[in-house]
C-alpha cells in the first residue's frame, strides 16, 4: 500500500487527538483541527503549500475560537468547587485544646489536621466540643460553638 499525503495528514490528526487525551490543555487539539482541514485539502488535490497554509489558518482559528469555547464549557463548574482554606468555612471540627482568648490557646481538628483556633464570639470553648468554622484568618480558624 502506498501512502498519499492525505494519509499522513490523517495519521497526524489521529496522533494530535490522542496526544490531547494525555495533555489536557486544549492546545494539541487545535493542531488536530488544523490537520483535519489539511487532510480535506489534500483529499481534493491541493498542493502541499496550500495544505500547510490551510493547516496553519485552521489551527490558529481553532486556537482563538474553539479553544476558549471548549475551556469555558469544560471548566464551567470549577468556580463552584471550593478548595484550600475556602473549603473549611462551614465545616465542623472537634476542639482538641480549649479555646481561650485570654490565654491565647485553642486548637481544633478537621479531617485529622490540627488547626489553631479562636472563638468568634470571644467566649471560651472546652475540649471535645463540636464547633463550626465561620472564618479563616491566615492559619487561624474562627469557630463558633454548635
- 64 neighbors 47 (Cβ within 8 angstroms): no
Which among 102, 103, 97 is positioned nearest to 141, based on CA atoms? 97
Q: Please say which residue of 74, 102, 121 terminates a domain.
A: 74
CA distance 143 to 117: 7
- Looking at the structure, tell me whether residues 16 and 58 fall in a common domain: yes
Angle, vertex CA 71, rays to CA 69 and CA 75, nearest 5: 125
- Looking at the structure, tell me whether residues 62 and 13 fall in a common domain: yes
pLDDT of 81: 65
Q: Which domain holds residue 125?
A: 84-145
pTM for the full model? 0.53
Tell me the residue ranges of DSSP E strands in the chain: 92-100, 105-110, 113-119, 130-137, 140-145
- Looking at the structure, tell me whether residues 43 and 70 fall in a common domain: yes
pLDDT of 79: 60
- Looking at the structure, tell me whether residues 15 and 37 fall in a common domain: yes
Number of domains in the chain: 2
| 60-95 per-position pLDDT tens digit | 999 999 888 877 887 776 566 666 777 888 899 999
Amino acid at each position: 500500500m502506498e501512502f498519499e499525503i492525505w494519509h499522513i495528514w490523517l495519521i497526524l490528526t489521529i496522533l494530535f487527538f490522542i496526544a490531547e487525551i494525555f495533555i489536557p490543555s486544549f492546545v494539541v487539539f487545535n493542531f488536530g483541527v488544523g490537520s483535519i482541514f489539511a487532510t480535506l485539502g489534500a483529499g481534493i488535490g491541493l498542493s502541499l503549500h496550500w495544505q500547510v497554509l490551510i493547516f496553519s489558518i485552521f489551527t490558529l482559528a481553532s486556537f482563538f475560537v474553539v479553544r476558549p469555547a471548549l475551556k469555558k464549557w469544560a471548566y464551567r463548574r470549577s468556580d463552584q468547587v471550593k478548595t484550600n482554606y475556602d473549603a473549611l468555612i462551614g465545616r465542623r471540627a472537634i476542639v482538641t485544646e480549649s479555646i481561650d482568648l485570654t490565654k491565647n490557646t485553642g486548637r481544633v481538628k478537621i479531617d485529622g489536621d490540627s488547626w489553631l483556633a479562636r472563638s468568634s464570639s470571644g467566649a471560651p470553648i472546652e475540649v471535645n466540643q463540636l464547633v463550626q468554622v465561620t472564618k479563616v484568618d491566615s492559619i487561624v480558624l474562627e469557630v463558633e460553638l454548635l
